[in-house]
Amino acid sequence: MDIKRPIELAGMKGRLARAAAAESKLSGVGKRYDAVLDKIDEATAVIDNHAGQLEQYEGDLRKTIETMVAGSNRAPTAGATDGPISTVETEHPETAAAEPSASWGSK
């Protein structure tokens, strides 16, 4: 036996069905909305992680550049090449030009 509600007895059964359909439709929209928000949260986490990696890369690159610049802040000696400066050239520049083998450490 089905006991009808007072609103059904008043002839509002169609309106109740329409309200139930609207409620069901809104529930579906709410689920879609939640799914989209979850995807946005995931994308935000990925972007945040990527930004952190870029910040770390920027710091590493900056350190590398600073060490490269710090090593090249000395003025080159006359006739110096891109290679390392020998101790003979820096300690006794006048003898280094006269004795080329001295820069290799042999006498």
Q: What is the pTM of this model?
A: 0.41
Mean pLDDT value of segment 48-77: 86
Percent of the chain with pLDDT over 90: 35
Q: Is the pLDDT of residue 15 over 60?
A: yes
Share of the chain above pLDDT 70, in %: 64
Predicted confidence at residue 82, as pLDDT, reads: 57
Give me the residue label for tokens 């309200």.
Answer: 19
Q: In this structure, what is the dihedral angle of CA atoms 16, 17, 19, 24, given to the nearest 10 degrees?
A: 140
Using CA atoms, how far apart are residues 54 and 47, in angstroms rounded to an integer?
A: 10
- CB hemisphere CA count around 96 (13 angstroms): 16
